[in-house]
Each structure stands twice: as structure tokens, then as C-alpha cells.
Amino acid sequence: MKLHLLVKVLFGPVPVYFSALAILILLTNAQYFGLGGVGVPRATKLASSTPVVSVMKYCDIFRGEWVPDAEAPYYTHKTCGMIQEHQNCLKYGRPDLGFLKWRWRPSGCELPRFDPVQFLQFVRHKSLAFVGDSLARNHMQSLLCLLSQVAYPKDISANPTDQNKVYHYRAYNFTINMFWSPFLVRAREPDHDDPAHTGHYSLYLDEPDDKWVSQVPRFDYVLVSAANWFSRPSLFYEKRRLIGCSFCSRQYGVPDLTLYYSQRKAWRVSLQAINALEAKVKGRVMVRMLSPMSHFENGTWDQGGNCKRTEPVRSNQTVMEGRDLHFYTAQMEEYRAAEKAARAKGLRLMLMDATAAMLMRPDGHPSRYGHWPNEKVQLYNDCIHWCLPGPIDIWNDLLFQMMLV
């Protein structure tokens, strides 16, 4: 193969006079580009209309390292108008931009860079639903921004002020839905009339939230996630009877079963409900493992903790522990049990195991750059959500590979 042709295949069309330089870089960094040793072709960025094969056939895209990346981010706050204020770190003056200069490199292959044209062509006449909380929305907005290089959707949400959203890409007849369901199961806000003002949510742990579960059969892809809201004080109901609570005192006359009880139960009940759907599920249900909650340093979120790092850490410098580990383990066990049952039924459940990659990115959060310095907000130093642009953009690189399988 002629050299410039090889470059073309590997990098897309580039002027010929850059080819020699590119080849030189390529040859001297063969290992870095994943061409050495493993015998797996680097995923090629072909013309956008070419059908593509998922690299998941070759490697585990969820294990790897973050490596330096010279390319500019896919978008900025100036090019994408769909970034949630609290995650708009560039707008609010985050001074260090080094956190944008990394890409996720799975061990054993290259993760193809997100190609919005290719993605939109692939999802033509299809639909994708995000289910969960503000992290699901964070993920969705990353996708909207990645696609904003090519197209903007029309917001056709029934109620524009609602957390539930519907976006339609007319030229591609592609629909994205956001179902707000932070506990996955049916839940009620704290009762403000409650004279005790205890601020407990009411969770109906054996009642799947039908608002989204009943809609699953309509979608080609449904991405379900939930974690953080189980950390809120809650009352647990089963068969409509109060059976326990979390962060509670004896006043309720039921035991404190801890947040772990509700998190596991909610996943079990939701996944079982999907498996029990009578309507034929045409698409795929994907479960996203939790985004780490442990990136606060020097204190908890309400005790002055912050995340001030400016670089990722390596995989061997991370340990999953505490609440992250408890949640991860339970979520994985529930996923595995449900996946087995789904397979027996011919239903497709898939795992998006993004936790390990994100554990390495304590530098990717808004910290105090999600608002103006003098603004009073609940989570002043936000080490939970992710800056846009930022490392969460790779969730869409991962998602696309999962869709291609």
C-alpha cells in the first residue's frame, strides 16, 4: 500500500505533504498507536459512509489508560450551546485546560474517535433513551455537543421545563429521549407538609417506575443508570408498607437498612421489570455502571472537600473502595443475574462498564467552575458531574462501539 494511502486509511483525508510526517510519527510511535504486537488493526477512520465494525470484537474497551492527546477537544462552550450551566467549566473560567488533552486508550486496541457523521448515519430512523439522573443528562448533553458539529436537534419535549426531554434530528429522523428517574423505581419527594421536616424521599422499592419501563419496547437503545440519589435520606416501602429507611432515626419505628439496601433493590426490580415486559423489546438495554462519587479530597462534599487535580491518574493508582465499591459490586451482581435471565428470553442486555476509566479522572469535574464564584449553589465544589467538554465525552465513543456490536 502506498504510504499516503495508508495515512488516508488511518487518519482520513490529509494533504499528501503531511503524509510523510504522519508516517514518521506513526512509525516512531507504532506502539503508542496500538500497531505493535497485538496483531489487531487500529480502528480505521474511513469515509463516513463506510460501515464500521466495533472494536469490542478485539478488546475490552473498558480497561485501559488515559494517554496524552494532542487533538483539540471535539467542541467548546463557544461551539456547543447545549451545555448545562453547572458543567460549563470553560465558561466559568476553569484556568487549566490540560484536562482536555487526554484520550482513553483501551489495552489492546484503539478507541476510534467519535465521528458525528458516521454516528448520525448509523442511527438514522432509530431512537435512543437515557434513563437516570443528572449524570445521565450530563452524558446526553455530551452526545448533543458531539453531534452539534453536524446537526442541532429540535427540542420536541412535551413540557420544556420538565426534566424529561425529547430531541429530534430531522435530517436523520433520530430521536433522543431523557427519562428523569433518579431512583429507577417509583419515588416521592420529601413531604414538605410533614411537621417533622425530616426531608426523607419515599421509595417504593418493589414498584418499577413505569414512566420509563413501559417505554423500553419503543426504543432501539435504552441506557439506564442510577447511583447518587440513593445517598439521600429515604423511607423504603414494599407492598406499600414502610419496611425500613436510610439515614433515619428510630422515629419511624423501622430499621435503618442503609442506602445499600435501596440501591441494590432498585436495580433488581428495574431489570426484572424489563425482563418481564410483555411487549416485544426491539432494541437493546444497556446498563451504565456508576460514575465514581469518591473524587472529593480533603473533606466530604459538604465539609469543604474539593477536586483540584489537573491530570488523570494511572489505573494502578486507583482503588475502588467505600461507597463506590459497594454500589459497583451490587450493580454488577444485579446486572449479571438479569443478563442471564434476559438471554434466556432472547433479550439483549449490555454492560457499559465506565467506572474504571472515570476513577482515573479526578481532574475532570467542574469543582468550583460550574458557577460564578459568588453564586450560592448547593454543591459549591462539584466533584460528581463532569465538565463539558471533558472526559465524559468518551462515554459516547464507548456507546457507539456498543451500538455497533
Ligand X SMILES: *[C@@H]1O[C@H](CO)[C@@H](O)[C@H](O)[C@H]1NC(C)=O
Query: Would you state the cell numbers that stand for residue 82, as one nine-digit string?
Result: 447545549
- Of the pair 291, 306, the CB lying nearest ligand X is at 306
Least distance CB 317 / ligand X (angstroms): 6
Least distance CB 218 / ligand X (angstroms): 8
- Of the pair 283, 391, the CB lying nearest ligand X is at 283
Least distance CB 298 / ligand X (angstroms): 4
Q: Judging by DSSP bridges, how do beta strands 201-208 and 174-180 pair with one another?
A: unpaired
Least distance CB 310 / ligand X (angstroms): 11
User: 34: phi > 0 → left, psi -120 to 50 → alpha, else beta; which?
Assistant: left
C-alpha 404/C-alpha 393 separation (Å) is: 18
**Residue in 28, 173, 310, 329 binding ligand X, rule: CB under 6 A:** 173
Least distance CB 341 / ligand X (angstroms): 27
> What amino acid occupies position 369?
Y
Is the omega angle on the peptide bond into residue 389 within 30 degrees of 0, that is, cis? yes
> What amino acid occupies position 185?
V
Catalytic residue among 134, 142, 246, 367: 134
Contacts by residues 58-62 (CB-CB < 8 Å, ≥ 24 positions apart): 58/108, 58/109, 59/106, 59/107, 59/108, 59/109, 60/106, 60/107, 60/108, 61/106, 61/109, 61/111, 61/398, 61/401, 62/106, 62/352, 62/353, 62/354, 62/356, 62/357, 62/398
162 binds ligand X (CB under 6 A): no
Catalytic residue among 295, 385, 393, 397: 385
| Site map 243..282 versus ligand X, x via CB under 6 A | ----------------------------------------
- Of the pair 177, 234, the CB lying nearest ligand X is at 177
- Of the pair 63, 197, the CB lying nearest ligand X is at 63
Of 308-327, which residues contact ligand X (CB under 6 A)? Answer: 308, 314, 316-317
Q: What is the total count of residues that contact ligand X (CB under 6 A)? A: 12
298 binds ligand X (CB under 6 A): yes
Least distance CB 362 / ligand X (angstroms): 9
Q: Is 134 a catalytic residue?
A: yes
Q: For residues 61 and 111, is the Cβ–Cβ distance under 8 A?
A: yes
C-alpha 52/C-alpha 323 separation (Å) is: 38
168 binds ligand X (CB under 6 A): no
C-alpha 281/C-alpha 283 separation (Å) is: 6
| Site map 113..132 versus ligand X, x via CB under 6 A | ------------xxx-----
C-alpha 309/C-alpha 320 separation (Å) is: 18
161 binds ligand X (CB under 6 A): no
Q: Is 385 a catalytic residue?
A: yes
297 binds ligand X (CB under 6 A): yes
- Of the pair 175, 225, the CB lying nearest ligand X is at 175
Determine whether 31 is exposed, middle or buried from the number of CB atoms within 10 Å of its CB (0-12, 13-18, 19+).
Answer: exposed
C-alpha 127/C-alpha 62 separation (Å) is: 24
**Which phi and psi angles does 102 have, rounded to 5°?**
-135, 145
Residues serving a catalytic function are: 134, 382, 385
- Sites of contact with ligand X (CB under 6 A): 125-127, 173, 175, 297-298, 306, 308, 314, 316-317
